[in-house]
Amino acid sequence: MVSSVNCSSRSSSFLLCLFLPLLVSVPLSVSAGAFQAFQPLPVVPPIPENNVLSKEKVELGKQLFFDRRLSLNGKLSCNSCHDLMQGGDDGFSASEGAKGVSGQRNTPTLWNVAYQTVLFWDGRAVSLESAIEEHLLHPEVMAMASKLDVSQRIKSIHGYEHQFNSVFPGDSEINYKNITKALATFIRTLTTPDSSFDQFLLGNKLSISAQAQRGFTQFIETGCASCHFWVNLSGPVPGLAFQMGEGFYELFPNYPGTDYEKKYQLAEDLGRYLVTHEITDRRMWRVPVLRNISHTAPYFHNGSVSSLEEAIRVMAVTQLKENLTEQQVSDIKAFLETLSGKFPVITLPRLPE
C-alpha cells in the first residue's frame, strides 16, 4: 500500500499547511519557524520491527555490500554505484548495470537513506528492504536471474554460512530475504550527522558563514524549503509526520516549457506515472535528499546538470519561477555546502573466498 502526499504548489499538502506559513514570513534573518521545519539528523535512524539492528548483522551487511559476487557478472557490488568513499553515488549521469546496460535515472546517494520513507526517484519502494530486493534482480542493476540465484550464489561462498547462522538464528538458511535484511541493516548505519548546519540548528551560530546564513534565508524566501525541509531536507521522515511507505512527491518541472527544461530534457521522463499510471502522477518525483548535495553531482533524476550552481538556477526557474541573481545562487550554494555531515570511518570488510 503506497500512499503519497504531493508537495507541489499545484497540489494539496498538509505539510505545506503546517510549515509554509512559518517559512514565508521570514524576512532577512532566520525565524523560529525555520527551526521547526529543519531538524538535526537524529543519531539513530528508524529501525523497522521486522529487521532489528545488531552489530553482527551490520558486519554481514557490509560484506555483502562490497561483495561483487552479488551481481550477474561478478563485477559490480552495491558500492560500485553507491560509492561510500564519495557521495554514496558514482558521479555518472546514469550507472551501468551488470549486463552493461545503463538505467535512465541518476543513482541517488545512499547516505542517510535510512531517514527516507520511500525509495527510488519515483518512490516505488516502500521500504529499504524492498528497494534492495529490486536492485538485485533489476536487469539494469545487479541483474541476477532470480531470488534463488541470489541465495545460491551466496550459499556457494562457504565463509558466509556460519555468519548467517549466527545473525539469523532459527532462520539460518541463506535466503533472499535475509540477504536483503542484512544489506538494509548496514545501509541504515550510513548516516552523516553533525554537519555545520546541524550545529547551527543546535545553537552554534558561528558554525556556518555569514554567506551560508544569507543562503539559508534565501533558500526559505525563494521557496526551496517548501519541499526541502526536515531532517534530510526532503520532507518528512518515518516515525515523525510520515510512516514508511508514505511518499512525499513534487511535480518537476513545476512550470513547464522553460529553456532549462528543453536544455536538460527535464520533462521527458514521466516519473511516478510510470509506476501508478495515474494522470496526476505525471512527472511527479520523490523530493530528493539535500544532505551532502555538494558531493553528489551530477544532479536531477536524469543526471543532466553537472554543477550545483546550475542546479540551483534550474530549480528556482522550473519550480518557483524565480530568476536568482548570481549572488543569490552563490549564497544558496554556500548554505547547501553546510549540509555535508561527518562521514563515518568504515573499515574494509574481509570477504570470504
Which stretches of the chain bind a copy of itself, using CB under 8 A? 66-68, 74-75, 80, 83-87, 91-92, 96, 294-295, 297, 343, 345-351, 353
Shortest distance, position 330 Cβ to a copy of itself, whole Å: 17
Of 139 and 352, the one with the shorter C-beta distance to a copy of itself is: 352
Of 258 and 330, the one with the shorter C-beta distance to a copy of itself is: 330
C-alpha cell belonging to residue 333: 550554494
- How far apart, in Å, are the Cα atoms of 149 and each of 137, 172, 175, 196, 264? 10, 18, 10, 45, 39
Shortest distance, position 68 Cβ to a copy of itself, whole Å: 8
- CA–CA separation, 105 vs 345, rounded Å? 29
DSSP code for 89: B
Contact 44, 172 (CB under 8 A): no
Of 11 and 294, the one with the shorter C-beta distance to a copy of itself is: 294
Shortest distance, position 286 Cβ to a copy of itself, whole Å: 24
Of 80 and 195, the one with the shorter C-beta distance to a copy of itself is: 80
Write down the residue that cell numbers 555569514 correspond to: 210
DSSP code for 83: B
Of 157 and 275, the one with the shorter C-beta distance to a copy of itself is: 157
Shortest distance, position 155 Cβ to a copy of itself, whole Å: 17
- CA–CA separation, 89 vs 92, rounded Å? 8
Euclidean distance between the first and final Cα of the chain, in Å?
Answer: 40
Contact 150, 48 (CB under 8 A): no
Shortest distance, position 241 Cβ to a copy of itself, whole Å: 32
